[in-house]
Amino acid sequence: MDTHVSFWRSRRKWIFAAAALPVLVAAWWAFRPEKLWVNHKVSEPAPFASNTDPQPLYTGRLEGKAHQTSGRATIYKTPDGKQYLRLTDFSTSNGPDVHVLLARSAEANLTQEIVKGQLDSVELGSLKGNQGDQNYDLPASVDLQKYNAAVIYCERFHAVFGLARLEPF
């Protein structure tokens, strides 16, 4: 008689299985690997009624380039579809012929274009003040995917005072 019963036919298989099961359950509970594939999507409304107020679309912090510049630049859309750029906590140095522009944020482009005198930008007007909160209307058809930076720009000396990369709000 063959006393050497193979593993898969022996009782050891069942003992092994009985011991392994709680380990597997514990490992599953701890790591919940199925969550790697299962998403749980929620969609809560904003905590306040706001569809009558301007909605922020993009925002970013201003960083100083040629001059120390700080604050926040935010693009809002009003309920009637108009868009404007708002600067808050804003401070830059005063200077001659300073304008607010929208440009493409890629640094290399910006510098090159300025050097060549062909800055690809959307003019929003002369800087109203070198400090304080201020709004600038955007032309109706600005591609904000492309012109994704707010730039404080001195036309006379082709100097970027400050720049804010705008990210979706």
Partner 1 sequence: MAFAFAASVHAQDAMKQEGKAKTLATGTFHGKVHSTSGRATIYQEADGKLVLRLTNFKTSNGPDVHVILVATKDADDDANFLKSSTERVELGSLKGNQGDQNYEIPSNTDLSKFQTVSIYCERFNANFGAAPLEKF
Nearer to partner 1, 98 or 102 (CB): 98
For residues 103 and 163, give the distance between their C-alpha atoms in angstroms, rounded to a whole number: 9
Collapsing DSSP to helix, strand or coil, 4 comes out as coil
| 133 interacts with partner 1 by CB under 8 A | yes
Q: Cα 104 vs. chain centroid, distance in angstroms?
A: 15
Element (H, E) at 115: helix 107-116
Q: What's the closest the beta carbon of residue 70 comes to partner 1, in angstroms? A: 10
Nearer to partner 1, 76 or 147 (CB): 76
| 78 interacts with partner 1 by CB under 8 A | yes
Q: Which stretch binds partner 1 (CB under 8 A): 16-24, 28-36, 114-122, 143-151?
A: 28-36
Q: What's the closest the beta carbon of residue 90 comes to partner 1, in angstroms? A: 8
Dig out the tokens for 105 from the structure.
């944020």
Count other C-beta atoms under 10 Å from residue 144's C-beta. 16
User: In angstroms, what CA-CA distances link 101 with 136, 157, 167?
Assistant: 10, 15, 16
Identity of the residue numbered 142 = V
Tell me the per-residue interface mask from 91 to 130 with partner 1, x by CB under 8 A, - otherwise.
--xxxx-------------------------------xxx
Residue identified by tokens 């705008």 is: 166
The single residue among 18, 19, 23, 49 that binds partner 1, judged by CB under 8 A, is: 49
Residue identified by tokens 């274009």 is: 113
Residue numbers 7-26 binding partner 1 by CB under 8 A: none
DSSP state of 10: S
| 134 interacts with partner 1 by CB under 8 A | yes
| 65 interacts with partner 1 by CB under 8 A | no
- Give the CA angle between residues 27, 31, 32 to the nearest 5°: 100
Interacting residue ranges for partner 1, rule: CB under 8 A: 29-32, 35-36, 38-50, 53-54, 56, 59, 61, 66-67, 72, 74, 76, 78, 84, 86, 88-90, 93-96, 128-135, 154, 157, 159, 167-169
